[in-house]
Structure 1
Amino acid sequence: MAPKTLSIKGQPTRLMENTILKTDTASVVTRQQMIADLARHRVVYVGESHTNPSHHAIQLEVIRALAQNTSNLVIGMEMFDHTYQAVLDRWVAGELDETAFLQQTHWYANWRFNFGLYRDILEYAKEKGIRIIALNVPFHIPPRIRVGGIASLSEADRRHLPAVINTTDAGHRAYLQEIFNLHAFRGRDTFDFFYEAQCTWEDAMAEAVADHPGPGTMVVLAGNGHIIRKFGIPNRAFARVNAPFKTVYLASVGDEAELSWADYLWVTPDQRMPHGRMMGGVKKKK
C-alpha cells in the first residue's frame, strides 16, 4: 500500500510526511531554513488540529528552535482566556503543580481537550521561564453571540470584547459561510450571529497578540482555522501593531491543501482523534 501524501491544489507534486513547503516559491525547505526565516519575524503562528498529537509535538519543536535563536520569546495560546493570565504567570513561575493548574484554569470546563496533548509545551515554558499569554475571550461569550448576536450581551460580557470587531472581510466571511452551511446548529441558525461570534473570537485574540508583542518573538498556538489565509488572527493583529509575521499551517497526509493557506505548509501524520468539539463548538451533521 502506497503511503499517504498531501496533495496541493493546482500542483502536481504530492508531499510526504515531514515535508515543509514554502508556499511563495512552492519549494521544499529544511526545518533549519524555515526556522531561520521565522526567527526574523515578531510573530509566528503555528496552527493545529486540536486532537492531533503530532501537531503539538511540532509546535514544541518550533518553540524550542526559536528559543535557541531569539531572545525574549513568549507564547500566545488560544487555549486560555485572558481572565486566567495570573494563573499562567504562577505556572511559569513554578508556583503550581499540574493538578492545581488544571483546577485553577478550569481546563476541562473551558478547553476540554486532553491536557496530555499540551503538557509538554506547558512544561517546557515552565522549565525555561517563557511567559505564556492567554489570548482568548471567556469561553461562554462566543456561544452567547452565536445565539443572540453581540447586541444581546450583558454589560459584564461586553467588557471582555475587543475594541474593534471587523466583520467586513469578504474572504473570511465566505470561508465561515461554507463552514456554517456544513453543520447543524440547533437554535443557532442565524449566520450573521455566527459570523459576529467568529469575528469577536478572531479580533479578541488579535488584540491580545498586538498588546503583548514584546521585544522578541511571540509564537502563537491556535487552531488552523484561525490562521488559514491569514484573515483570522494574523491580519487582524497586523492591522493593530504592524509587527512582521509568518504562518505555519500543519496539514495532515490524506488531505488537500492550498498554497494560499499559509507561508509554510508542514506535512504531518494523520493522527486526529475523534472528538465532538471543533471550531466554535460546532458538531457535524449526522
Structure 2
Amino acid sequence: MTKNKSKIKHMLKINSFLILIILFSPLMLFSQDGLYKIYSVELRREVSMAEMTDKLAHADVVFFGEEHNDSVAHVLQLELLKGLHAIHGQGLSLSMEMFQTDVQLVLDEYLAGQITERNLKADARPWKNYPDYQGMVEYAKEKGLYVLAANAPSRYTNRVTREGITSLMGLAKEAKKYLAPLPIDTLRGPYYDKFNGLMGGHNGMGNLKIYQSQNVWDATMAWKIARLAKRRQVKQILHLNGRFHSDEKLGTYAHLQGYAKKLKLSNIAAFPHESFANPDWATWEHLGDFIIITDPNVNRSF
C-alpha cells in the first residue's frame, strides 16, 4: 500500500512537471529567441514567465499594462491567461479595456455561442487590432471564462472632452449605468502631474477636460472590475489596458484601490525599449511589480 502511494506521488510530480512544460514551452522558445525579458521589482532580478505567473497568482486583480501595438506583449498576455487559468480554473476572469461596457451583452452572447464571430465584430465595436486580442477571447470562450467589457463608452468620454465632467450629470439613468458612479474623483496629484507632463505642461481648460475624460475612462474600468470581484465564484481577474492606466499604480489601479480597498492588486508594465540588450531595470522599478521589455526591432505584425 505504501509502495503504491509512493508511485502515485511520483507520477503526480511527473505529470505536474509535464503540464508546466506544455503550458510554458511556447514561452520558453519565445524567450530563447530573445524577444522579451521579465524583471521582478520585489526580487530585483530577471525571472521566467513561470515565476511571474506563480507570484501573480496570489493577487485578486492583475493589471497587464501594454503598448497597444506590441505584438510580443499580446502573446505574453495570452500565455499569462493560460497560466493563471491552470491555477484558478473557472475562478479566473478576463477584463479588457478593448471592449466598452455597453457591448457586454454582445460579448456575453458570443462567449455563450449564441451569435457568430461576424456578429461580434459588427456589434461589439472591437478595436482595429482586434486580431491581437482575439486569441484571448477565443481561449476564454473555449474554457468558459467570463470576459468583462470594462471600458467607458467613447461617446461619453468624448462628451467630457468637449464639455467637461459635469456634463455627464445630464445623462439619462440608463446611460449612467455604463459609467462609474458620479461624481468621479479625478485623482488630482501624481496622476494629474503625469498627465499634464504628457500634454506638454499646458494647464488650459481644454487639457483639463481631456484629463477629466481620462479619469472617466479609468474610473469606469475600476468600478466594473470592483463589481466583478464581488462575485462569489471569482478568484482572480486579469485586466488588460494601455499601460498609462496602471503604470506607477495610478489611474485605473488607484481608482480600484478607492472602490475596493481590501483587494490585493498587482501590476505589470510591458513595452518595447531600445536598451533591450542591456536594460537598466532600476530606471523602471517605479512603474510596477513586474517590468517586461520587448525587443523593439521585432516585426510588430506577428
Q: Which category describes the TM-score, using the shorter chain as reference length?
A: 0.7 to 0.9
How far is 1:26 from its partner?
Answer: 2.4
1:162 and 2:188 aligned: no
**Contact 1:55–1:268, Cα closer than 8 Å, also in 2:** yes
1:174 is matched with 193
2:82 is matched with 64
Q: Structure 2 matches for 1:1-286, cutoff 5 A? A: 17-71=35-89, 72-107=91-126, 111=127, 113-153=128-168, 154-156=170-172, 158=176, 160-163=178-181, 164-181=183-200, 190-213=206-229, 214=231, 215-241=234-260, 242-254=262-274, 258-270=284-296, 271=298
Q: Secondary structure at the match of 1:77?
A: strand
Aligned counterparts of 1:73 and 1:224: Cα–Cα separation in 2? 21
Deviations 1:6-39 (A, max 9, x none): xxxxxxxxxx742211113422122221111111
249-258 or 20-29, larger mean C-alpha shift = 249-258
**Cα separation, partners in 2 of 1:136 and 1:272, compared to 1, 3 Å:** farther
Residue ranges of structure 1 left out of the alignment (5+ in a row): 1-15, 275-286
Aligned counterparts of 2:177 and 2:104: Cα–Cα separation in 1? 16
1:7 is matched with none
Q: Secondary structure at the match of 1:258?
A: helix
Q: Read off the aligned partner of 2:63 and give its amino acid letter.
A: Y
Aligned counterparts of 2:71 and 2:263: Cα–Cα separation in 1? 30
Percent of matched pairs sharing the same residue? 25
**Cα separation, partners in 2 of 1:182 and 1:62, compared to 1, 3 Å:** farther
Aligned counterparts of 1:37 and 1:23: Cα–Cα separation in 2? 12
Q: Secondary structure at the match of 1:118?
A: helix
Aligned counterparts of 1:51 and 1:212: Cα–Cα separation in 2? 28
How far is 1:269 from its partner?
Answer: 2.5
Higher helix share goes to which structure? 2
Q: Secondary structure at the match of 2:154?
A: coil
Which 4+ runs in 1 deviate beyond 4 A?
Answer: 271-274
| TM-score normalised according to structure 2 size | 0.77
**Cα separation, partners in 2 of 1:168 and 1:238, compared to 1, 3 Å:** closer
Q: Read off the aligned partner of 1:51 and give its amino acid letter.
A: N
**Cα separation, partners in 2 of 1:101 and 1:161, compared to 1, 3 Å:** closer
| TM-score normalised according to structure 1 size | 0.81
Choose between structure 1 and 2 for higher RCO, CA contacts under 8 A separated by at least 6 residues.
1
Residue ranges of structure 2 left out of the alignment (5+ in a row): 1-33
**Contact 1:76–1:133, Cα closer than 8 Å, also in 2:** yes
Aligned counterparts of 1:159 and 1:94: Cα–Cα separation in 2? 26
How far is 1:82 from its partner?
Answer: 1.3
Q: Secondary structure at the match of 2:199?
A: helix
**Contact 2:72–2:300, Cα closer than 8 Å, also in 1:** no
